[in-house]
Amino acid sequence: MIKLLIARLAQSILTLWLVSVLYFLVVEMVPGDFAVMTAGQSTTQEMMQETRRELGLDGGVVERYLGWLAGALRGDLGMSWWGRQPVTALVIERLGNSMFLMFWAVLVTVPLSLVISIAAAMNPQGRLDRALSFLTLSVMSVPEFVVAYMVMFFLAVEINLFPAYTMHALDLPFWERLHACVLPVLSLIFVTVTPMFRLTRAALVRVLASDYIEMAELKGLSRRRIMLAHAFPNAVGPISNATVLSLANLVFGLVIIEIVYSYPGLGTLLVQAVRVHDLPLALGCGIVSAVIIIALNFLADSASILANPRLRFR
């Protein structure tokens, strides 16, 4: 088991390195550079060229990537060209803001998806199962920003229960801050609970079709006991993978949700960095997001290995 976990960890580190290379190349391929995007009406070509020299933009792509990678391995993500601050400090501050939304979204999404998945899998193709499947498929078919705007329209415009603008929500006391962030949290829940429900339900239905489940039914065990004592423990591995995939989707959806509600999180910081071609800041935001997703996948693989003896023994 330890060898498997070490192998998964090595794969995660290799994946993170490949992500850093691809992300660096993608940001480099965006037309323009920081000197052009921040130039004013009175900026001359000589001034922009001097800016490029100061930032090291006149060097080769490989040279600049290796310099950034050497600093990142030491824990130094460089200085933000746009914010004139260390990238690490900016990213940590915005990451904390994003984690505030993610915490409340996960706190509701994971138990809710498990409950409705178990309820639907108890009677496959029943009324509740068909209704939940239709509803979740309908929500999954709609882009994240449409879901966010629909939530905003009904709860902020029509009913006026919660504020739609959350830029200054962080300056409020805790309960007022939580009230101001209800709409983005609800949007994240809608975006995340639908794929988590469908993947978890599929895992449970697949386990319920096993021979040992049929034997338990022949012994006269109740459907509830079969589900909770036999099916659910054997579906922990697939369910953990489904949960991680949904949480990874949450990380991606967080960028769109933050932009819609003007929330000062990591997603809006990434968009601002790309907009002004702030390469160190964009790389810092992207790498931190990649670390979160890769770490979640590593935890899911570890849970699958621990839950399934067939993965631990040849």
The domain that holds 297 is classified in CATH as 1.10.3720.10
* CA distances, 144 to each of 19, 23, 150, 163, 282 (Å): 24, 23, 10, 19, 22
Beta bridge partners of 79: 86
Q: Would you say residue 308 has pLDDT above 70?
A: no
Structural domain contains residue 62: no
165-211 pLDDT per residue, tens? 888 877 888 888 888 889 999 999 988 888 888 888 888 888 888 88
- The pTM (predicted TM-score) of the whole model is 0.80
Q: Do 259 and 268 contact (CB within 8 A), yes or no?
A: yes
Structural domain contains residue 52: no
Structural domain contains residue 151: yes
Nearest to 21 by CA among 55, 66, 58, 57: 66
Q: Would you say residue 149 has pLDDT above 80?
A: yes
Structural domain contains residue 82: yes
Structural domain contains residue 22: yes
Structural domain total, the chain? 1
Name residues whose C-beta falls within 8 Å of residue 253's C-beta, 6 or more positions apart in sequence: 144, 187, 188, 191, 192
Domain residues for the domain of 307 are 2-30+77-312
pLDDT at residue number 186? 92
pLDDT at residue number 40? 65
228-281 pLDDT per residue, tens? 777 877 777 777 777 777 777 777 788 888 888 888 888 888 888 888 888 888
Structural domain contains residue 200: yes
Q: Would you say residue 11 has pLDDT above 80?
A: yes
